[in-house]
Amino acid sequence: VPVIANNNNFARGAPTLLSFTDAETLFHEMGHGHHGMLSDVTFGRLAGTNVLTDFVELPSQLMEHWLKQPAVLERLRHHETGEAIPAELLKKLKAAQAFNEGFATVEYTACALLDQALHMQKDYTGFSLAEFEKRELTRMDMPQGIVLRHRPTHFQHLFASSAYAAAYYVYLWAEVLDADAFDAFVEAGDVFDAEVAGRARQFIYSAGNAQAPEQLFRLFRGRDPVIEPMLKKKGLA
């Protein structure tokens, strides 16, 4: 089966090499690919990635976790010398993973809250987007040292289509799901645990929208998602 990844945003070179962020993108998109290829649903409209927006990011963001595992990183080699990544460099990479996460989480969450507030307006007569933004940021007690990741006037997620309207929060909620889901592998003592992987395939990667996403997560995890793994992942707890 030919597998093609069309990544026009990777930096070109001779040869083209991947930064760690590029590698994360590769694993992320591979997760979406697995969500489609492993789909085992009768009706096409319920198959693969035809799921709610927050759940569609779970298979992709979950896959990113494996890139950061020592068992995977140790297999990566320098393209010229064939040497493995030095242990000291891996240590620095791990230490830097939570850098600036507080800032990033606030700037993202502020946009998500602004998005929902904007779509809850009942009357837009005489509406001023600039005044609305100023008022909402004051209401949220937005820290002065942090700005919105997306100002409303160029917030394409909201206005380019209806897909993310009032739903920009889904990426952060998906982080809650993916961190909690990966903890199931950690708790098993093996990030490649076959039994947990089997449940992930059955209830996350192959189930599509055949059942409600919250039910699928409960079937995989045995409970509702909790926020603590995500906070720990970001270095916020």
**Are 217 and 203 within 8 A, CB to CB?**
yes
> C-alpha angle with apex 174: 171 to 175, nearest 5 degrees?
90
Q: Does the N-terminal peptide bond of residue 152 adopt cis geometry, omega within 30 degrees of 0?
A: no
Q: Is 62 exposed, middle or buried (0-12, 13-18, 19+ CB in 10 A)?
A: buried
Our measurement of the distance from residue 16's CA atom to the centroid of its chain's CA atoms, rounded to an integer in Å, reads 25
Task: For the chain, report the end-to-end CA distance as a whole number of angstroms.
Answer: 43
The residues annotated as belonging to the active site are 29
What token pair was written down for 234? 């970001």
Q: Which residues are bridge partners to 77 per DSSP?
A: 84
